[in-house]
Each structure stands twice: as structure tokens, then as C-alpha cells.
Amino acid sequence: MTTTPILPKLVGQRVKRREDPRLIQGRATYVDDVTLPGMQHLFFKRSDIAHGRIRRIDASAAQAMEGVEAVFTGAEIAELLGPMPIGTPYSSPAHRAVAVDVVRYVGDPVAVVVARDRYVARDAADAIVVDYEPLPAVVDPELAMKGQPTVIHPEFPNNLAVALVPSGTGVDAAGKVDDSAIDKAFAAAEVVISQRMVNQRLAPCAIEPRGVVAHYELGKGSMTIWSSTQNPHILRTFIAALNGLGQDQVRAIAPEVGGGFGSKINIYAEDYVASAISKRLGVPVKWIEDRSEAFVATTHGRDILGYVDLAAKRDGTVLGLKLRLIADVGAYNMLLTAAIPTLTLLMANATYRIPAVRATLTEVFTNKTPTDAYRGAGRPEATYFVERAMDMLAQELKMDPADVRRRNFIQPHEFPFTTQTGAVYDSGDYEKALNTALEAAGWDRLKAERDAARAQGRLVGLGLSMYVEVCGLGPSSSLPTGGWEHGQVTIERDGRISATTGASPHGQGNETTFAQMLADQFGVPIEHVTIHHGDTAVVKQGVGTFGSRSQAVGGTALHMAGGKVKTKMARFAAALLEAHEADLVFENGRIAVKGAPASAKSFAEVAAFAYVPVPLPEGLEPGLSEEAFFEPANNTYPFGCHISMIEIDRDTGEPTLLKLVAVDDAGNLINPLIVEGQIHGGLAQGIGQALVEEVVYGEDGQLLTGSFMDYALPRATDFPRFELHGCVTPTPVNPLGAKGVGEAGTLGSTPCVVAAAVDALSGFGVRHIDLMLRPEKLWRIIHGGQA
Amino acid sequence: MSDATRRTIAFTLNGRRVTADVKTHETILEVLQRDFGLFGARESCGQGLCGCCTLLVDGTAVSGCLYLAAFAAGAELVTVEGLARGDELHPIQRAFVEKSGFQCGFCTPGFILMTAELLSRHPRPTNEEIRHYLSGNLCRCAAYPDIIEAVKRAAELQADRT
Ligand code: FES
Ligand code: FES
């Protein structure tokens, strides 16, 4: 592996984003802006009941409407498309893009209208009559596990999507379980903390809804598909496969994408249906999700129930952890549905040296929208369960929450550290992160402030949370899509640099960070570098943007490709300058001989020579374009510490966040400005989970939070300015030393805000409050009712 | 030919007199996109709850997703595309870039136009006024702290300009 250090020039600087000018002027092109001649519009008729058998669909009135091109029922779509593929090794019920005989959640598509415009399409969908035989619905996963009151997929008894995955101490590769170590740990315990905890269901709510334009060109036999996706290459793979086309016959384009947060990893029913209908009818078709549709049709996140038992000695030393997880995955398996909760298993050790861990996972079908990745994806859940348990331990032992953690940290010299659940943490210094946060927040001063406020009768509390997460996904052994990333760097004839990356951004600013890296690598101005992404016709190969992997994996691929071109360019330069390659330096737009600055050629001159090489240096091909696939040997494990202070209004139960301090260690940073933006966003979503966000279903499976009226997103008014601090522990996993930061903010923030609320209400004898912290719940605690 | 479902309306769009043939049920957002190729105001919720579709009508920020096109007759409309003068960004745009008040940028035009209304009414806004004006705009990338900084910076830049 190459370990050439990157020169500290633009890398590490707060370079303004190159994406900004087009975004700030409304000049960016999103999928909804794509209009093609003859384009038709799709509208999906969706189930308005949670579970039922389709007796009959009458689409005759819809078909007869002026402007309606066609109506397809589930059975008709099933003739065009096989079941939707999944990307995990778990067995899965056949999932039809449009339901054929049974609907299994509110929002399950039952028919598709193709029409001249979206008004006609919607009116026609309203005119379709579906006659259902209602079936009982189940929304409580613990009931569903008993097969009560219904079984959603007959081939999955008791609704067990994944019956039981054991992990941790004494579990061998074949899944055989030896409980002696964990039993011993609990037998030796002087104190045991036990708590059932809910990590609630959330809606990702990317502010740009999903959308797709599919155009199958009859004469060419090829398809172009624009989709608001995080991973155009994976989209291409699956769209081609389900339409019976080759990879070479499908071009997938992710235009500007307005946020994803994990929800745009999936290849959705609408993507498949649009492509199949375009192919069938030979016309371009468009579908744009509306917001209420997004609440049912786009995957949800989280929704894991945890039964946590923590065994410890009275000095705070943790002896063992049992974590029994029940994930409510909704009605079907989507691309990564089954895999997301396994990340909770993987991260059960958190930042601690826990000698014995027994974690088990059961995944359960219910009559709800399927879950899948949402920012953090499995890791916030693990953090939440373990950190809340550590707080309860501290409370039980009357220890400072910082001290109980400090006593159990994995120490810096122990890395790489293999956890009881099989993660290999790359590098870390958890105590440093904790100390940095305590100092930055002024922990002791805050405690005094809290106590003073309490003395006046105010309900003020402090919370602290550590976190470690798994990022930089790969390697390929852990991702059926491949865990690598691809980069290509071309020095053009005029000396400018074009680069392509498979890491397809949607707000992460990769056009800037990658250009910073390449500008430094070649010693040229950043203005001379263009980063292309998001179009499989331009970007040869790619995996995509998720799992905080763009910089760590995608950035490294580009750095490697850049290294290859640089080596070749040096050979051309050496020929021109009659010098040794090893004596050349690339800087200030020139390639010069070390120690003889007068002997130099401009970058453009060498580039021009490489394309008209007369004479061609021996052993070289003309041109300057190289590519690289980077396959990481391991994941990266960023970590940090979040601290919050909140106040709860005694009369209304309304919580107010007074302070949030975050210390995040993501290894080396390319652009702190962009990193801070990512952390801000993650923190707001994590705090949103604690304070305002929750997807709620009625017992009949009706979604009660189907618009921005009922599902709250954090607003500008909700938070104080976050105080961000960093520390830097580079990863050895890639030559950049970068770990990834896109999801970090969601990890520590949720538990630290809950901890602060519990602390604020400690006078009322509470030790845990389930998510989310509704004012009503807090008011009941204050006023003596049931939480 | 008279058709009760259509009208031709005239209005001022980013400083130019224009006309449009609109259906009575169409929103101004649809007309801006379809007839004028302006995509800066865009739909996210379609229910007046997010602010992504904000434009200025006679100086007041409105939700374009709910504002019927027919109501725009005779009015003066400004969209985010109408703020820059050639290559020179509007001070509010400059402030948003300077303070990095966005990530994916989908919500940003709405925040910028809401800021324009705010600053036209409160050239030196208090924190409370800023928060009040921005409370109807959602940003899922949650660039809020930087957005608030950007609004303050925009107020300074505008004060310098006048
Ligand atoms: S799209 Fe108009 S307010 Fe949301
Ligand atoms: S910048 Fe993405 S929603 Fe605001």
C-alpha cells in the first residue's frame, strides 16, 4: 500500500465549496428538472390499509380517462419484472414492486398509472377501485414474534425475518454458543443493571423527495435512468438485471441529489417500475415522490428494541454485557434491511473493554414501511443501549458518568483491538476524546451551574456519551455490492486535471475535498481540477456514498490513481528535463529538478508532451490517464464524546437544549469546514431523535405521522450553536489516515440528551426515559403520573 | 376562445415583464418551472410546510407550492435566479457561501428569499427576528447554525452596500 504523505497545502484547509455557486443561485439540476420529449408521468395507487388480500382491481374508469396512456396492476408489472433483489445474505420473502395479491403495509403499491401529466395520473389513480379483504395487522414486534395476530409472510413463521443471530463471547464461526463466560461474568457481578429500551422508528426525510426518469430508447435497445440516488452504479446493476439488459446497456445518472441520509441507497419499486414501463411502452417516464408518499414509500430507520443487562463490580468495572435486540423491520426486506441491525450487534462492545458480551438479534416483520439505512444505521442503536446502561451504572454507584466510562476504556496501546463481537477497531484514544470534551465543556463548572439552577427550582441536567462507529465500508467481504471504490485521474493535454469518482455525493462536498487532494498531489491550483461523478457513462466503476466511506475509500482510490499518473508523468518530465524521475518535484504548476529550480517545465508542457511524445520515451505509452480500485483491508472506527445540558420546563415538560459540546475524532481531515457541516447535520438529526422525531403507527397499522405537520424535523429555532472540537487519531487502514465523519454526529448526541433529561429529572426517581422525550412524558414524570 | 379553466396573466418576473398562459389550478411553482425554466424554487412538501418553494411576491415571501399562478397577475415576482447581477452574487448569497449555510442546497433558495424579506423589513435583525422568520423553513442537512450566521453576515453586507 502506498503511504506517500499528502502535503499540507490545501488539504486540511477550510476551502470554500466548489458546489456552492450553482446551489446558491438555483442553477443545480435535480431529477425533477429532467424533461424529455414525449415524457409520460407515473402515479402509484397505494394501499390505504395495512394488511389485506386484493380481491379485485377495477381500472376501467381510469383507463378510459383522457390523457391516460396505460394502467398496470401488480400482476401486469409482475410479467415485466421479477421480485426485487436484496443485498444481504439472509433469506427473504419475494417482494414484488407492485403487490400482486396481498398488501402488507399502508403505502404498498397496487397499481401504476401512466399519463400525460401528473394531475391526470393522480386523478386516474383515484378512479381505480380496489376491493380488499382486510386481514389483521400487527405493529408490535413482540406480538408479531408470537405470530399474533397475523403472519405476514406464510414462509416466515412467527414473522421471524431473521430468527436469531447470536454474537459475542463464546460464539464460534458456525454460530454455536457457549454461555459459560457470560454466565461467569454475571455470577461474579456485584451490581447488575437491567433495562428494556426503545430506539424508535424515524423517517429520513431528505428534503429532496425521491424521483426517477427512465428512458428506454427502442432503436438503440439501451436505457438511461436518472434517479435521486446515493449510488448510481448499484442502481445500474440492478436495473439492468431486472430488465434483462446488460450493464453496458444501462446508463444511470444521479444528478444533483438533495440529501439522502441512507434512504437513497435502495433501489426502489418506483425505479424498477419506471424502467420496465419505459421499456414496455418505448417512451420516457417520470415519477416524483410527494411528501406524504415519502413517509410511506421511502424506507424508515432505527426501530430496535433492546433488552440490556450490564454486570459490574462496585468500583465501576464492567464484567459483562447482555444485549437482546429485536428489530422491527416492517413488511419486507429491502436492499440492506436485514444487515442494518447486525451493525448494532457488531458495535456492542462500544468503547469499552467488556470481557464477556452476549448479543443476540431477532428481526421481525410487521405491517409497516420497511426499514433500512438511516444516518448512523445500526451504530447509534448500539451506542444508545450501551451508553444508557453505563449511565444507569454510574447512577446506581453514585459515580460521575465520566469516571465509570474512564474505568472501562480500551486503552490506546491495545489497538488494533478485536472486540467480543468480532470488530477490529483500527485506532483510538477514547480517554483523550473524553478529556477534551470535559475540558471544552467545563464539566465541573457545568455541574456547579446545574446545581445552582436546581437550587432555584429549575430542572437542569447534564449528559455525556462516548461513541465509536464503524465507517469506511468495505471491505468486499462485508458488502455484496463490493466494498471498494474506484477513481480515475486524467491529466488533460492542456495540463488540467479531470478525475472521476464512484463516490456519488449528495451534499457531502466531494467535488471540493477530492479536488483539494489532487491539487496538492500535483502541485497545481485547485481551479485546474474538475471532479466528475454520478454518471455511469462518465464514471467507469463505482460503489457509492454510504457508511461514511466517501473520503476513506473513495478519496483513497483517487489518491492511488493520482499516484499512478504522477509516476508516469514524472517519466515524461524526466525525458524532457534529462533528469532522474526521483529528482523531480511537482509544485506551483511546474515540474522541477530538485535543487535546480531553473531546470523546470510547466505542468502543461509536460502534459502536452505526453500526448504528442516525440520521441516516445522507451517503455511508455502516450497519454496520462490512470485508474485505481481501492479495497480497504478493514473498516475505520471513528469515535468521540458528546456532552449536553438541557432544561425542562416544570409547567409544560418542554425540554430545551442549552448546550451541546461535541468532540469527534475522524482521523485526518481534508476540509474542516465540510467536516463541521457534516457533524452539525448529524448532531441535529441525533438530537432530533431525542427530542422531536418519531414515526407513529396506530394499532391498525395506519401511519399517524404522514406529513411535516405530524412528523417534526428540527428547526432553526430549536438549538443553540453547537460547540465542536476535534482530536486526530489517524487510521492506518488507508494512506490518507481519514476515517469518515458523515454519520458521527448521530451517535453520541441522542444518548447524551436523554442522559441529560434523566439527570434533570433525577429528583423524581427516574433512571431511564424511553425515546422520544415528548413533553407530555416529561410532564407526567414531574407531576407524578406514568412516564 | 374563452375557456374558464385557462387565463393569460401578465406579471413582472425578476425585473422583466412577462406573460403566461396558466390553468386555474396551477401553482406559480409549476409555471415558473415549465414556462420559464426557473427551478430555484422547488417542491419538497407541497403543503406549505417546508419553505423550499419560497419566492417573493411584491416583496413578501410566499410558498410557491400553494400560491395559485393566477394570483400572480400584475404582481412583481422575484426568484433566487433574479438576485445575482450577472456574475456578481447578491449580498445574501455571498453571505450564505461565506458562512457555508448549506450542504445539499435543496432548501437554500428558500432560506435566501426568506432572508431577503426579513432584511427588507428588519435591516438589523435580532436573533429572535431571525429565528422567527426562519422557523418555517426546513433544512434536513441542518445547516442551521451556519444559516443563522449567514443571515447576520448578510445584514452586515447589505448595510455596507447601502
Ligand atoms: S414545497 Fe412549498 S412549502 Fe414545502
Ligand atoms: S442544505 Fe440540504 S436540506 Fe438544507
C-alpha grid cell, residue A40: 409520460
The residues, any chain, with a CB within 8 Å of residue A454's CB and separated by 6 or more, are A460, A763
One-character DSSP codes across A329-361: EESS--SSTTTHHHHHHHTTTTTB--SEEEEEE
Q: Which residues pair with A41 in a beta bridge?
A: A115, A286
Give yes or no for A722 touching B (CB within 8 A): yes
Provide the pLDDT for residue A508.
Answer: 85
* Shared-domain flag, residues A595 and A645: no
The residues, any chain, with a CB within 8 Å of residue A426's CB and separated by 6 or more, are A415, A416, A634, A635, A636, A637, A731, A732, A733, A739
Residue A265: Cβ within 10 Å count: 26
* Shared-domain flag, residues A649 and A567: no
Q: Do B153 and B95 form a contact (C-beta atoms < 8 A)? A: yes
C-alpha grid cell, residue A775: 413533553
* Ligand 1 centroid – CA A319 distance (Å): 53
- Is A277 strand, coil or helix? helix
Nearest-angstrom CA–CA distance, A764 and A766: 6
Q: How confident is the model at residue A9 (pLDDT cuts 50, 70, 90)?
A: confident
| Chain A nearest-CA residue for B145 | A721
Pick the CATH number of B91-161 from 3.40.50.720, 3.30.420.40, 1.10.150.120, 3.20.20.140: 1.10.150.120
Residues 195-224 of A with CB under 8 A from B: 205-209
Do the bridges between strand B54-57 and strand B60-63 make them parallel or antiparallel, or are there none, so unpaired? antiparallel
Provide the pLDDT for residue A785.
Answer: 58
pLDDT digits (tens, 9 = 90+) for A617-675: 999 999 999 999 999 999 999 999 999 999 999 999 999 999 999 999 988 988 998 88
What percent of chain A is modeled with pLDDT above 90?
86
pLDDT digits (tens, 9 = 90+) for B142-161: 889 899 999 999 999 998 87
A494 located within any domain: yes
Pocket of ligand 1 from Cβ distances under 6 Å: B 43-46, 48-53, 63, 65
Q: Do B155 and B115 form a contact (C-beta atoms < 8 A)? A: no
A156 located within any domain: no
pLDDT digits (tens, 9 = 90+) for A13-49: 999 899 888 999 999 999 999 999 999 999 999 999 9
Which range of residues forms the domain containing residue A526?
A: 20-27+474-630
Question: Cα A342 from chain centroid?
Answer: 14
Q: Name the one residue in this structure whose C-alpha cell is 419499486.
A: A269
C-alpha grid cell, residue B32: 415558473
Helix (H) or strand (E) segment spanning residue A388: helix A379-397
Q: Do A653 and A782 form a contact (C-beta atoms < 8 A)? A: yes
Provide the pLDDT for residue A4.
Answer: 40
Q: Name the one residue in this structure whose C-alpha cell is 449580498.
A: B91
Is pLDDT at A506 greater than 90 in this prediction?
no
pLDDT digits (tens, 9 = 90+) for B71-117: 999 999 999 999 999 889 999 999 999 999 899 999 999 999 999 99
Q: Is the dihedral of CA A44, A48, A51, A56 positive or negative?
A: negative
Q: Which of A452-456, A559-563, A719-723 has the lowest mean pLDDT?
A: A719-723
Is pLDDT at A757 greater than 70 in this prediction?
yes
* CB-nearest partner of B141 from A119, A290, A507: A507
Q: Do A42 and A117 form a contact (C-beta atoms < 8 A)? A: no
pLDDT digits (tens, 9 = 90+) for A512-523: 999 999 999 999
Residues 132-191 of A with CB under 8 A from B: none
Provide the pLDDT for residue A6.
Answer: 43
Task: Give me the torsion for CA of A746, A748, A749, A754, rounded to 10°.
Answer: 130
Residue B156: Cβ within 10 Å count: 12
pTM: 0.95
C-alpha grid cell, residue A274: 419506471
Helices (H) and strands (E) in chain A, counts: 20, 28
Ligand 1 atom showing the smallest separation from residue B64 Cα: 2
Ligand with minimal distance to A32 CA: 1
* Ligand 1 centroid – CA A291 distance (Å): 9
Domains B6-82 and B91-161 share a fold: no
Provide the pLDDT for residue A97.
Answer: 98
pLDDT digits (tens, 9 = 90+) for A88-129: 889 999 999 999 999 999 999 999 999 999 999 999 999 999
Q: How many angstroms away from the CA of A686 is the closest CA of chain B?
A: 11
Nearest-angstrom CA–CA distance, A659 and A646: 7
A119 located within any domain: yes
Work out the angle between the directed axes of helices B144-161 and A672-691 (0-180°, nearest 10). Answer: 120
- Is A290 strand, coil or helix? coil
What's the CATH code of the domain at A541? 3.30.365.10
Task: Give me the torsion for CA of A27, A28, A33, A35, rounded to 10°.
Answer: 90
pLDDT digits (tens, 9 = 90+) for A578-632: 999 999 999 999 999 998 888 899 999 999 999 999 999 999 999 999 999 999 9
* Shared-domain flag, residues A554 and A641: no
Last residue of a domain, one of A615, A630, A645: A630
A157 located within any domain: no
Give yes or no for A117 touching B (CB within 8 A): no
Nearest-angstrom CA–CA distance, A115 and A126: 13
* CB-nearest partner of B100 from A208, A677, A713: A677
Q: Do A197 and A375 form a contact (C-beta atoms < 8 A)? A: no
Nearest-angstrom CA–CA distance, A115 and A64: 11
Provide the pLDDT for residue A2.
Answer: 39
* Shared-domain flag, residues A496 and A594: yes
Ligand 1 atom showing the smallest separation from residue B65 Cα: 2
One-character DSSP codes across A222-246: EEEEEE--S-HHHHHHHHHHHTT--
* Shared-domain flag, residues A326 and A287: no
Chain B residues near residue A716 by CB distance under 8 angstroms? 130-131, 134-135, 137, 139, 144, 147-148
A147 located within any domain: no
Q: What is residue A414's DSSP assignment?
A: G
Chain B residues near residue A508 by CB distance under 8 angstroms? 103
A693 located within any domain: yes
pLDDT digits (tens, 9 = 90+) for A69-87: 999 999 999 999 999 999 8
Residue A264: Cβ within 10 Å count: 30
Nearest-angstrom CA–CA distance, A643 and A462: 7
Give yes or no for A509 touching B (CB within 8 A): yes
* Shared-domain flag, residues A329 and A386: yes
Provide the pLDDT for residue A473.
Answer: 87
C-alpha grid cell, residue A731: 487510521
* Shared-domain flag, residues A239 and A374: no
- Closest by CA position to A161, among listed A141, A187, A133, A138: A141
Provide the pLDDT for residue B162.
Answer: 62
What's the CATH code of the domain at A285? 3.90.1170.50
* Shared-domain flag, residues A270 and A362: no
Residues 6-25 of B with CB under 8 A from A: 25
Residues 634-693 of A with CB under 8 A from B: 673, 676-678, 680-681, 683-685, 688
Provide the pLDDT for residue A1.
Answer: 38
Q: How many angstroms away from the CA of B74 is the closest CA of chain A?
A: 24
Which fold would CATH assign to domain B6-82? Answer: Ubiquitin-like (UB roll) (3.10.20)
One-character DSSP codes across B61-109: EEETTTSBGGGGTT-EEE-GGGTSBTTBPPHHHHHHHHTT--SS-SSHH
Last residue of a domain, one of A297, A322, A348: A297
- Residue A765, classified by CB atoms within 10 Å of its CB into exposed (0-12), middle (13-18) or buried (19+), is exposed
Please confirm whether the linkage preceding A475 is cis (ω < 30° from 0).
yes
Is pLDDT at A5 greater than 60 in this prediction?
no
Backbone torsion region of residue B13, taken as left when φ is above 0, otherwise alpha when ψ lies between -120 and 50, otherwise beta: beta
Is pLDDT at A288 greater than 90 in this prediction?
yes
Long-range contacts of the stretch B145-149 (C-beta < 8 A, 24+) = B145/A680, B145/A719, B145/A721, B145/A722, B146/A677, B146/A680, B146/B99, B146/B100, B146/B101, B146/B102, B147/A716, B147/B96, B147/B99, B147/B101, B147/B102, B147/B111, B148/A716, B148/A721, B149/B99, B149/B101
Nearest-angstrom CA–CA distance, A264 and A256: 13
pLDDT digits (tens, 9 = 90+) for A330-344: 999 999 999 999 999
* Shared-domain flag, residues A565 and A459: no
| Chain A nearest-CA residue for B33 | A33
Delimit the domains of chain B by residue range: 6-82, 91-161
Q: Output the 3-class SS for A576-611.
A: HHCCCHHHEEEECCEEEECCEEEEEEEHHHHHHHHH
* Shared-domain flag, residues A319 and A237: no
Last residue of a domain, one of A614, A630, A646: A630
The residues, any chain, with a CB within 8 Å of residue A593's CB and separated by 6 or more, are A577, A579, A583, A584, A585, A599, A600
pLDDT digits (tens, 9 = 90+) for A168-209: 999 998 889 999 999 999 999 999 999 999 999 999 999 999
Q: What is the b/e burial string over B5-28, where b = at least 16 CB atoms within 10 angstroms of the residue's CB? A: eeeebebbbbeeeeebebeeebbb
Provide the pLDDT for residue B68.
Answer: 97
Ligand 1 atom showing the smallest separation from residue B49 Cα: 3
Residue A566: Cβ within 10 Å count: 23
Provide the pLDDT for residue B2.
Answer: 59
Question: Cα B84 from chain centroid?
Answer: 13
Residues 62-101 of B with CB under 8 A from A: 79-81, 83-84, 89, 93, 96-98, 100
Give yes or no for B42 touching A (CB within 8 A): yes
Tally of domains in chain A: 3
Provide the pLDDT for residue A202.
Answer: 98
Nearest-angstrom CA–CA distance, A57 and A71: 11
**A681 to B142: CB separation less than 8 angstroms, yes or no:** yes
**B146 to A677: CB separation less than 8 angstroms, yes or no:** yes
